[in-house]
Amino acid sequence: MGIWSDWFGAKSAPAGEGAHLPPWLQSIDREAGYVCGYEARLREVYRTNPVGLRSVRLVAGAVGGLILFSNKEEARAMVGAPGLLEGIAAALLLHGNAYCRLVMNNAGTPVRIAPMRPEQVSIKLDSNGHVATYELTNGTGTYRIAALDPLVRRQVAHIKALNPEDDLYGLGCLEAATPAASIHNRASLWNKALLDNAARPSGALSYEPADGASLSAAQYETLRSQIADHFSGSANAGRPLLLDGGMKWLPMALTPADMDFVALKEAAARDIALAFGVPPVLVGLPGDSTYSNAREAGRALMRNTVLPMAGRILAELATLLDGWMPGVQLRVDVDRITELAEDRATLWSQVVAADFLTRDEKRHQLGFDLEGKQ
């Protein structure tokens, strides 16, 4: 507790005060009937939905697995720490905001970059509307981190996804993915309920005695409890029903078209993958899962989702470290990305065949300096 207070330069406050959730995660959409709130949407889209889980892990894992290049070895080591980029990418996808702070040694030199859970961080502005502090509220209290140190060097990096409606906080993918994830999850529950009931409704019992009498309340309750105990559920599937005393069974089985939720689930799964920027073939959807399609989908994922996200993250981290390591550069070593090997080979062939370029101009086009280093 004392270490946290000394590091952040603030007195702890009771837990639960100051934690930030953007308005789009706090609203209650009762008319639409979808879950609201960050924790509820995280459970709906990520924890209990295989498509959302796979999509986030696919993108975040790809970002975390990139090979980095930097002109400062210390910066490359800190940014390339295991799990750092993957965690930042996951926070961007789910919450829309990722926060990282610098951890110093006793000499006041940064030694590592520590991520903070975005739902526990809120931004405080000064009288001029500039970011003054970041407040982290967790189970032990509230801690404040100044945006700048006394030498006007950044101490926190805030990476945010595009949000046209908010100047401070980014917009994640949870809200857009929640409707499709809700449909996908409930279609699975419906299919499970059908399976538990032998894939058909229980039907109806018709009481048709010769004298036209009806069941008494006691007889009705007895019959209902016996059917529930002995003829419902997956354990009793297929058990024959013995009827007497004017009872007649009226089956009400579903047609195959009524039972077919495959198309519904596939459409919902495609919407979930679309929200996270993942080609549907990469999350196992049938219909276009050939080798060539999967290869092209991998290239599209890398070009359209992974590399732009990685570029945004590395730019913010480079800005964070620039005050401590002037001139630091961070970028992805695209030559080591197997999905882009064909694109790279095509570029090399085109540059080599360009007779109007000098040798040095060709090296520059391929990302090399005059000494042959990237």
- What are 180-202's pLDDT values in tens digits? 999 899 888 877 777 776 555 55
Residue 237, exposed/middle/buried by CB under 10 A (0-12, 13-18, 19+)?
Answer: middle
Same domain, 17 and 2: yes
Give the phi and the psi of residue 58 in degrees, each rounded to 5.
-65, -50
pTM attached to this predicted model: 0.75
Residue 282 has pLDDT above 50, yes or no: yes
Lowest mean pLDDT among 50-59, 146-155, 205-214, 306-315: 205-214
Same domain, 111 and 215: no
Predicted pLDDT of residue 318: 96
The residue among 252, 268, 290 that closes a domain is 252
Same domain, 29 and 144: yes
Note down the domain range covering 245: 202-252
Predicted pLDDT of residue 353: 85
**Mean pLDDT throughout 309-315?**
96
Q: CB–CB of 101/116 below 8 Å? A: yes
The residues that bridge with 110 in the sheet, in sequence order, are: 104
Q: CB–CB of 12/141 below 8 Å? A: yes
How many of the other CB atoms lie within 10 Å of CB of 13? 14
Confidence of residue 208 (pLDDT cuts 50, 70, 90): low
Same domain, 169 and 266: yes
**Of 116 and 372, the one with more pLDDT:** 116
The mean of the pLDDT values for the chain is: 80
The residue among 213, 230, 252 that closes a domain is 252
Same domain, 127 and 237: no
Same domain, 92 and 209: no
Predicted pLDDT of residue 352: 83
Q: Which helix (H) or strand (E) holds 288?
A: none
219: helix, strand or coil:
helix
Same domain, 8 and 125: yes
Same domain, 221 and 187: no
Same domain, 219 and 292: no
Same domain, 56 and 104: yes
The residue among 233, 252, 271 that closes a domain is 252
Same domain, 83 and 206: no
Predicted pLDDT of residue 371: 47
Q: CB–CB of 147/134 below 8 Å? A: yes
Q: CB–CB of 315/352 below 8 Å? A: no
Residue 121 has pLDDT above 90, yes or no: yes
Count of domains for the chain? 3
Strand order in the sheet with 131-138: 121-125, 131-138, 141-146
Same domain, 327 and 340: no
Query: pLDDT, tens digit, for every residue of 29-77?
Result: 555 678 888 899 999 999 999 999 999 999 999 999 999 999 999 999 9
Confidence of residue 291 (pLDDT cuts 50, 70, 90): low
How many angstroms separate the CA atoms of 129 and 159, rounded?
19
Residue 17 has pLDDT above 80, yes or no: no
